[in-house]
Structure 1
Amino acid sequence: MRLSSLVITLAILCTAGVLCFFGASLAATKIEEYSETGVAMALSDAGQDWVEVEADGLQVRLFGTAPSEARRFSAINAAAKIVDGARVIDRMEVLKPHEITAPRFSIEVLRNDSGTTLIGLIPEEMDREDLLKEVERITKGSVTDLLQTADYDAPALWQPAVDYAIDALGSVPRSKISIAADHVLVKAISDSAAEKRRLETELLRDVPSGLQVELDITAPRPVITPFTLRFVKDAEGARFDACAADTSESRDRILKAAEAAGVTAGSLCTVGLGSPSIQWAAAAERMIRGLNEIGTGTFTISDADISLIADADTDAATFDRVVGRLENSLPEAFTLHATRVETEETTGGPIEFTAALDEEGKLLIQGRITDELSRKTTESYARARFGAEAVDMQARLDAETPAGWSLRVLAGIEALSRLHDGTVTVTPEKITVAGNTGFESARADVARILSEKLGEGAEFAIRVRYVEELDPLKNIPTPDECISDIRALNSANKITFDPGSSNISAASQDTMEKIVELLTDCPPFPLEIAGYTDSQGRETMNQQLSEQRAQSVLNYLMSHRVRVADFVAIGFGEANPIADNGTEEGREANRRIEFRLHTAETALEAEEALETDDTSSAEEDAAPQTEDEPTDEQN
């Protein structure tokens, strides 16, 4: 009986053991299937289809060749979101970067009236000082050196290409010359078609053997409408308010006649398209000589209409004689309207309209307007030109204003819109525009507007002064100035990130906004955004984090409509420390973002640094990891 009970007990225990074994095996299999399937789906959703997943018990092994260290790190993070990170075993490899090739040496030579600038990458063996001295000797002006160097051998035709380009620079004062190892491109502006042909012949005469030379020489002429010339001679002397010519020969004839009448040599006269007659220069010469003989006054040629206004003290006999001669000698296409100003006694106070534009852009309108409709029209027109909030209308109604008054008022406001600050005064006799401008063409623009809007016979005076400090093109900061200002902002309140993250901290939002504002006023230029961390944590993780942080800064600028086409974001990890990583203060200093001009040389340095980092990473992966190794969460 006892034996039978013992046998039964043993049978029961064996059966239970077998059931437990199969139950445990089934559970382990289910865990493996869940882990493998879940991780594979997560990687697929993250676009990491190159990763192979294999579950072995509680461990999940990842295999495959990652396109970059960043993609490898991303795959590990995606798997760790499904299973415990301690169960993820990394068996992935990283695709090695291509070997660094020799850089492409090139120079961009930019020459204009303010000087010559050299930008590009040249061999380190090249005599840089001799090159700069030769450019300064040929151009007889200032030279700005923005060249970078690289320690590679110069290509075979490099020196002949440079010598040819620098020699060509002496023939083209307004030009851009692009120099490569076997190719030179010369872009230049000439004054005429004949000058263009002469330059092309000269530049193609002595091309070195084997060197490809491409010429792009233009002789542009702007379209001027209406085609306007305005000449003034008064107590202040003789001068042009506007001068247009149809050819360079016509310009020379007009300026020669003007200098004989007292105009200072070197006056501006624009060669352009739009002349109403091939006899433009002949008409201008006769009018200049005629006004010089009359004494004082103004004449305006607007297309084929000529308006001559002589001052009140002009001798009547002289006036009649000169006008009669002009009417009989001017080319057929032109029509002359001549008047002599006569003074009249007025009663009831002057009829006058004034508009004053201050340096802040505020416009004060005073004086007389014909009726309510004219006042509303004038105010609407002014708001459209100067801004709705900038106009202060204080003009009063006066039904006694002369015919055409509203047209004269609107023409005066349009002329004033060409100035930075100034006034326009409208009276029955004339319109006077005075003030300051940052555009060299403003005086001619005002003359064309008044001449076109008021028609022949209208008298107006222009006292517009060009102020270089107001010229927006003169005040654009250089790339070096922009980078210097960005560095100053970053130094005062440096860009920081949330711990262990690429998210820009709230404390740095003000700095980022100021950098956006600064870059908005800068010209396009290549900017390198470099990220760095301290030395805590794995070197590969630090490099990846620094790259993500640099990219975050670039993304912020892009999202705020900064032009980032020439910007690059590069992560250097713990390389190039600027302080001791053994102290908290030092580590904080090493966690940083730097800004610098991105050139071929800095790009080469970045590639070398990243290649060194890849080598260190491979050695680091081969070394055993200890449990108390610090993480990158502090970076």
Structure 2
Amino acid sequence: MRGLIKWSSKWWPGTIPLAVLWALAAWISTPPLEAELASRSTAALKDVLLDKSRITVDGRDVTIAADAFSEEGRRSAVAAIEAVPGVRLVNDETRLIPEAKPFVWAAERDVVRVTLSGSSPLPASKAKLLEAAHADLGGVEVVDQTGLARGAPPRFDEAALLLLQQIPKLKDGKITITDNKVSLAGMARDLGGREAIATALKSLPEGFSVASNEIKAPPYIFQAYKDPVALTLTLTGNVPDNNARAAIVAAAGRKFFNEKVVDNLKTSLGAPSGFASAVAPALGALSRLSTGTLAVTDREVKLSGDALYDSAPGQLRANLTKDLPQGFQLKADISVKPAAAPVDATVCQQLFTEVLGKGTIRFESGRSNLDPDSAGLLDHLVETALRCPTVNIEVAGHTDADGDNAANQALSEKRAQAVVDYLVKAGLPASRFTAAGFGSTQPVADNDTDEGKARNRRIEFVVKDQQP
């Protein structure tokens, strides 16, 4: 027994070196272990949505600090680290980023830059939208002032990317997402930009809707200039499409008997409703001026120039006000061309012949109603008659050979009288004019072709004699 006690008392000092070796081994091995656990934990978080993540390891205990974008994200982060081999305990120090109520994101364009503001739901979303802004806007400066916040509606990225694609169509303005409502305001860069944006908005993701669209368009302008020296009518500005363009050019060709039509029009979206219905009568009014300019700007029709006789400005204003579509406004600045010097009977006949040699007075088919397209030609005949104050004039009507002779005779008389009535309404004395009809008895071409018939359907001015 004594021997046993003696042996035991000698055993415990031997444990001291063992303890030292164990402590030394632990001290040597702990840093590599912690580094390994930190590396494994970091790798485990690569598919978890976190921001500003930081991992610290104390032995086999891991502490994670990060900004999480959802409660699910927090739980996923902790679970991912708990699954790492060697981890004993996970201390969760993650925090949810603030929730934005309402969730607002905006893109605003001014003269020099585009500014992104409000909130993005994820760092990846923020980066994606910034990259898209740079790509869509070319060299325009892009300033990103967005922060990160929870609360974005489903498919936020898709909606924001679609709206960013509309920014290049703006001269200036702002597009805003508020939860799932979209608001737009500003000025489109080009004609048609407003309509293009409105069309794009139809492709917003499901769940999104347009709360307001206050995008305005640049003025929609159509212009026509009548030059009496060059004998041209120059058309510039915008028309809705090629069909409208062809119709307007054709109408100008009918209304302007003495001018070459120069077509510098371009097609563009954005025309106000009733545009073509406003341009047609406005061109008719311009055709009655000696020189003048027509400008249709959105729904404002501005006509300026010189009329050919004193009563014409009032007629033009009254007729055009009546003929313009509802919603269009007329601004007329019309003066009267100074009267030309009187001429004798021989020259007077020559002037009438020259004017009627350039154009034909038209009527409604089979009727005696004057075609409005002939107003410009008729006003030039009025101007010529004013230069012949001392002569009597016969206005002679002629038809083609189609139909009954008696009917043709009556129609020719009525058409001649309609022209006389126009002259008298312009202010000329009725006593100077006689209406005569000759039916188809005095053809100037054969009646076997459409061209010949058209030449036979005519009005002639014949100077008869001097007034007593």
TM-score (norm 2): 0.31
TM-score (norm 1): 0.25
Tell me which protein shows more strand as a share of its residues: 2
Relative contact order, higher structure (CA 8 A, sep 6+): 2
